[in-house]
Amino acid sequence: MNIPTKRKSDNKKSNSGKVGDSIQFFRKNTLIEGIIQHVKENVAIVEISLEDSHYLKQENQITVVAHKNYKVL
């Protein structure tokens, strides 16, 4: 009897972005825009503007955003 099984790739969100995509996400109740630099299984590594990094009190312009928490523009 052949029972279909789910493969790990079947669970991947189709709306996760790709390297170079512009995205929007909320951080500290503020809409932030950034560009995806690297994509992992559950998150994207995103470069944000210098102004936004200062607002968020980050030392650099790189942040991590879960795929479920951003929208591709």
Q: Is residue 10 part of a domain?
A: no
**Residue 36 burial (CB < 10 Å; 0-12/13-18/19+)?**
buried
pTM: 0.78
Q: Is residue 23 part of a domain?
A: yes
| 32, β-bridge pairs | 25
Q: Is residue 1 part of a domain?
A: no
Range of the domain at 36: 15-43
**Total of domains in the chain:** 1
| pLDDT, tens digit, 9 for 90 and up, residues 26-65 | 999 999 999 999 999 999 999 999 999 999 999 999 999 9
Q: Is residue 25 part of a domain?
A: yes
Q: Is residue 29 part of a domain?
A: yes
Q: Is residue 70 part of a domain?
A: no
Beta carbons of 34 and 22 less than 8 angstroms apart: yes
